A and B are shown apart, each in its own frame.
Chain A
Amino acid sequence: MSATEHRTTDGAERVAGRRVSTRTLYVVLLVVALAVAGVVSYWASGHPDGLEFVAEETGFLGSAEDSATSGSPFADYQTTGVDGWLSGAIPGVLGTLLVLLVAGGAAWVVRRRGADRG
């Protein structure tokens, strides 16, 4: 807990109430995301989602075409050549980290500069 670094003399910040430090919150969020993608995903329902189910039921599922990336080693969240839990965990963890880097990077580039201290 490094909450002290945020306990500045800035009254507005104290009033806002910080129960956990920014770093603690962000680490917890990352761990939760990785656990959901890498572990919990193993127990996800294999049933078609709402759109796919409706497409089948009303008769337009057949119009779906394979994506150009359907040959990807991580297609359908399964790793080619890997069996079991790890097969889904690898794309889950890699995808989570890649999204974090791309979205976080974009947010970092477009953010307001110098308005706030970390």
Chain B
Amino acid sequence: MHVPDGFLDAPTSVATGAVAAIAVGVALRKAKGELDDRTAPLAGLVAAFVFAAQMINFPVGAGTSGHLMGGALAAVLVGPWTAVLCLSTVLLVQGLLMADGGLTALGTNIVLIGLVTTAVGWGVFALLRAVLPKRIGVVAPVAAVAAYLSVPAAALVFTGLFAVGGTAPVENGAVLTAMLGWHLVIGLGEAAVTFVVVGAVVAARPDLVHGARGLRRPSRATAAEEVTA
């Protein structure tokens, strides 16, 4: 969903740029609470993985493709504020070196791919986690559901930005229908990748996963802890 230069007018791009700059500034301060000596390297690796995964466009039919956005995946693994930093780094490198996403559109892309997918992904994840059993097994499936919903959410926000600041005279309803329709399909890929990656890290080292904090593992050690607790 990398927005190129030219799709949105200057005022809209300035506004999204300001929102992105403020969000990154806040994230730099808030991420401290999510990062320690062990999880800081994980944040770098999650960002690197998201960059790599975004290169993999998977076909979704009719000559269209999609790729991971990664906000939900990163938020569950390393925390939402750190996820904003991870995704912003990915988008900065893509825009500067690969010309993937415009430079005047960098703020727009940070808002859509960095903020919206992270906020919706983490919001849905936290909500579902709160109402489901506090077990480690819920993390990957719940992350997948959150990842799925984060994709049409970003498509909706793009449509909103386009309605406000789109430079081409295109009917908003047509953009809304097409964006939502395609991204409801692309979201399935987002959910699948998120399920596999989060599931693998949770299986290996649940203690490092931000979204697994405070959850129980079905193991002898946990059972012993419960007995002594």
Residues of A within 8 A of B (CB): 11, 13-20, 22, 25-26, 29-30, 32-34, 36-37, 40-41, 44-51, 53-55, 57-60, 62-70, 72, 74-77, 88, 91-92, 94-108, 110-112, 115-118
Tell whether A98 pairs with B97 under 8 Å between CB atoms, given A108-B41, A112-B35, A112-B36.
Answer: yes
What number of B residues sit within 8 Å (CB to CB) of A? 89
Q: Are B32 and A69 in contact (CB under 8 A)?
A: no
- B63 within 8 A of partner (CB): yes
Q: Are B221 and A63 in contact (CB under 8 A)?
A: no
Residues of B within 8 A of A (CB): 1-7, 28-29, 31-33, 35-53, 55-60, 62-67, 78, 82, 85-86, 89-90, 92-103, 155, 158, 162, 166-168, 170-171, 174-175, 178-179, 182-183, 186, 201, 203-208, 217, 219, 221-222, 224-225
Contact of A96 among B51, B158, B168, B183 (CB under 8 A): B51
User: 13 A-B contacts, Cβ less than 8 Å apart?
Assistant: A15-B217, A15-B222, A44-B55, A45-B57, A45-B58, A50-B64, A51-B1, A53-B64, A63-B166, A64-B6, A99-B44, A107-B31, A107-B82
* Minimum distance in angstroms from B192 CB to a CB of chain A: 14
Which of chain A's residues have a CB closer than 8 A to the CB of B208? 22, 25
Tell whether A116 pairs with B45 under 8 Å between CB atoms, given A64-B6, A72-B97.
Answer: no
Contact of A33 among B41, B48, B62, B155 (CB under 8 A): B48
Which of chain A's residues have a CB closer than 8 A to the CB of B29? 110
Q: Are A118 and B38 in contact (CB under 8 A)?
A: yes
Which of chain B's residues have a CB closer than 8 A to the CB of A69? 95-99, 103
Q: Are B85 and A95 in contact (CB under 8 A)?
A: no
Q: Are B170 and A58 in contact (CB under 8 A)?
A: yes
Q: Are B7 and A13 in contact (CB under 8 A)?
A: no
In Å, the complex CA distance between A115 and B32 comes to 11
Tell whether A67 pairs with B102 under 8 Å between CB atoms, given A17-B207, A74-B97.
Answer: yes
